[in-house]
Amino acid sequence: MAEKKWGDYLRAPLTPEKFSRSRATYLHPMRVHRDLMERLARRYHPARIACLGAGFLNDIPLEAFIQEAETLYLVDWIPGIAREGFAGSIIDSKDDNLRCLLCDDRIATGRYCAAFRPPIRAPEQVCASFEPMPGRENLCVHYAPGDQPNFLEADITLGRGGGFARRLESLVARGKTLRQVFQRALAEGKRCARIEEEMEIPADSIDLVTASMVVSQFDHEPYAFFARLLAEKFGMEKMLENEEHLRPLVEQLRSLLFQIQAEGLVREMYRIVNKTQGRVFFSVEFFRSLNGEDRYFLVHEIPRAMETIAEYFQFEFESIPAEETITTFSQNEGTSVVQCFVLTPITD
């Protein structure tokens, strides 16, 4: 049975297997993103960093960020996912020795782990509290969150994606036909374009904002949740029968949801970034191929998202040269062409 509430849908169990699958799928392909973000961090030494849509932290250069930042925000609307990603990222292997990224003289170690206890042992680079978790050596049994990082459970789209999704249960339940439900969903999406729910991050406070691949996900959520509710109420057979008839409404709704979420994200990035010295690392999937074919299509709505970005930010190619900003990565379903940007806020 589909989850009828958006909160339940987001709270799908974060099992060790799910974390491991995510790492196996995305850690290597996102290496270029991590390298580019680390280059920015090492060059500009941002004191305050905010990672929007942090997920399992596959694309975040955690070691560089905790060494450079006094304040680190990890933001995602899935409860607990950034905490799980952080806990699973702090232990790695170097020269056949386990080491803890938090047991480092270059950071205020106790701020990141309340269980930190000196001395830091060599050559492992772990503290006196360290004990690998049986069966999961990438975790420390005694790790306990400290004052940092700040784990925020928040909708990075000004609350628009979540605001729409939370209305869907009653909207779908009241609908008598598929067409009626879609028409009401379109009206609700237009209403949600006026939602202004800001994250709990002060304005003009962040020296480096990262938003890696999050815009590409707006084509999927919360529409996928809507589709699950429709299938439960009307049945997949009826939905397939009406697929061609409903296609224009489907395209209108997906386009609207993408637009209002993309605008919300861009406005939130602009609100929190420091207007004098702040920068944004932003990446987006521009093209995609399917099933190994050598034909690529432009990802839905991305040009419009770039126009929205250009209203608030300038594109800066001095920190990272343009020729280094395009990367590709392949998954079972095809290949993605991704471009990375460094953005600076327009202040005129």
pTM of the model: 0.92
72-112 pLDDT, tens digit each: 999 999 999 999 999 989 988 777 778 888 887 777 667 89
Q: What domain range includes position 340?
A: 6-89+147-345
| Percentage of the chain exceeding pLDDT 70 | 98
162-187 pLDDT, tens digit each: 999 999 999 999 999 999 999 999 99
* 163 & 132 share domain: no
The b/e string for 271-303 (b: 16+ C-beta within 10 A; e otherwise) is: bbbbeeebbbbbbbbbbbbeeeeeebeebbbbe
* 81 & 96 share domain: no
Report in angstroms the alpha-carbon separations of 165 from 155, 228, 257, 261, 328.
11, 12, 10, 12, 32
Residue 337 within a domain: yes
User: How many domains does one find in the chain?
Assistant: 2
**Amino acid in the structure at residue 120:** I
Phi, psi of 99 (to 5 degrees): -135, 155
Which two structure tokens, joined as six digits, stand for 270? 């602009």
The answer to whether 289 and 298 have CB atoms below 8 angstroms apart is no
The most confident of 14-28, 107-121, 142-156, by mean pLDDT: 142-156
pLDDT classification of 235: cutoffs 50, 70, 90: very high
Residue 1 within a domain: no
Chain center to CA of 141: 27
* 70 & 194 share domain: yes
* 322 & 275 share domain: yes
* 110 & 248 share domain: no
Handedness of CA 9, 14, 20, 26 (dihedral sign): positive
What residues contact 91, with CB distance under 8 A and at least 6 apart?
98, 99, 100, 101, 132, 137, 138, 139, 140
* 181 & 319 share domain: yes
Rounded to whole angstroms, the Cα distance separating 145 from 340 reads 31
Which two structure tokens, joined as six digits, stand for 310? 């250009």
Report in angstroms the alpha-carbon separations of 126 from 93, 112, 145, 230.
11, 14, 16, 51
Residue 221 within a domain: yes
